[in-house]
Amino acid sequence: MTEQVIEKIESMEKKREKEKHGKETIRSSVVLKIYRANKRAGEQPHYDSVEVPVQRWTTVLDALLHAKQYKDPSIGIRYSCRMASCGSCGMKINGIPRLACYTKVSELEGSTVTVEPLANFPHIRDLVTDFAQFFSHHHDVKPFVQNENADIKDKNKLSEFMQSPEDLDKFLQFSYCIKCGLCYSACPTVATDTKFPGPQALSQAYRYFIDNRDNATKDRINIVDDKHGIWRCHFAGSCSSVCPKGVDPALGIQLLRGHMLGFSKNEKKIADLQDRLRKDEEAKQ
């Protein structure tokens, strides 16, 4: 075992050494071209260029924070987890919505990186945008399990809803969503339609629709079946192409619409609380 591990480590190290001098562009510094504006305080939009040092693993967020800490503390930016799980740091990087903490400078071309606030969100300051509308769209699709047993009533009878790994796979991917809003920023319908729930909210509607613990099937369909609802998605796919978490909102939306068009049937049964108890009984006999 010991030798194997060492061998593996050595061979990978060689490979990495090669890669290092191969495809990745290694630079020692990069120029950030940062969108700046604070309209409420009368500061008009302009771009500031700041040069910062970078290394192989430096992300755009690292670079921006370096700029903030050592060059210009007034850069307005939202961030938190720095590991692509909180959804704070969405911004346009070289014109495309991305997470700053998930985009390495070495993955980008050119010696300048342009960072701008997400489009389709009202602007607050510099790279920071207002998510209130986005969140309220999410709220409006009733993103929670609806089912008369959703709150456990009898604490002495504890049991889960049965859910096979296959049942889980039907919605799991849509629950990867970190609400970063990149999809919302990329969608062409959202670009003009303020009432369109957007890819995030619509794919969450499907996430709960197809969860076999939920039985608000009709209600969910009624919510999205609106002039500005699900039908305003034209499968432009941009949402899925920018989603950093593989949610594939376009897929969720089309699948939900498949049910509304009668192409698919929702065969799910409400995972019955009693199911397990019954099975247990059977097993005992």
Interface residue with ligand SF4, options 182, 221, 230, 250 (CB under 6 A): 182
**Parallel, antiparallel or unpaired: strands 123-125 and 128-129:** antiparallel
Count, residues near ligand FES per rule CB under 6 A: 11
Show contacts with ligand F3S in window 196-215 (CB under 6 A): 199
CB closer to another protein, 30 vs 61: 61
Residue from 58, 88, 204, 240 that binds ligand FES (CB under 6 A)? 88
DSSP string, the chain: -HHHHHHHHHHHHHHHHHHHTTTSPP-SEEEEEEEEEEGGGTEEEEEEEEEEE--TT-BHHHHHHHHHHHT-TT-------SSSSS---EEEETTEEEEGGG-BGGGS-SSEEEEEPPTTS-EEETTEE--HHHHHHHHHT--S---TTSS---TTS--PPP--HHHHHHHHGGGG-----HHHHH-TTTTT-TTS-HHHHHHHHHHHHS-TT---HHHHHHHH-STTSGGG-----HHHHH-TT---HHHHHHHHHHHHTTSS-----PPPHHHHHHHHHHHH-
Select from 11-19, 131-139, 217-225, 231-239 the region that touches ligand F3S (CB under 6 A): 231-239
Choose from ligand F3S, ligand SF4, another protein, none: what does 181 bind? Cβ within 5-8 Å by kind: ligand SF4
CB 113 within 8 A of CB 33: yes
Residues 138-197 that bind ligand F3S (CB under 6 A): 186-189
Smallest gap from residue 223 Cβ to another protein (A): 12
**Judged by CB under 6 A, does residue 243 bind ligand FES?**
no
Cβ proximity to ligand F3S, 84 vs 190, nearer residue: 190
Tokens of 100: 């700053």
| x-or-dash string of contact with another protein, 11-50, rule CB under 8 A | -x---x---------------------x-xx-x-------
Stretch that binds ligand FES, among 12-20, 82-90, 130-138, 266-274 (CB under 6 A): 82-90
Does 82 interact with ligand FES (rule: CB under 6 A)?
yes
Nearest CB to ligand F3S, comparing residues 178 and 186: 186
Residues binding ligand SF4 (CB under 6 A)? 177-183, 199-200, 203, 243, 245, 247, 249
Residues binding ligand F3S (CB under 6 A)? 186-189, 199, 233-239, 249-250, 253
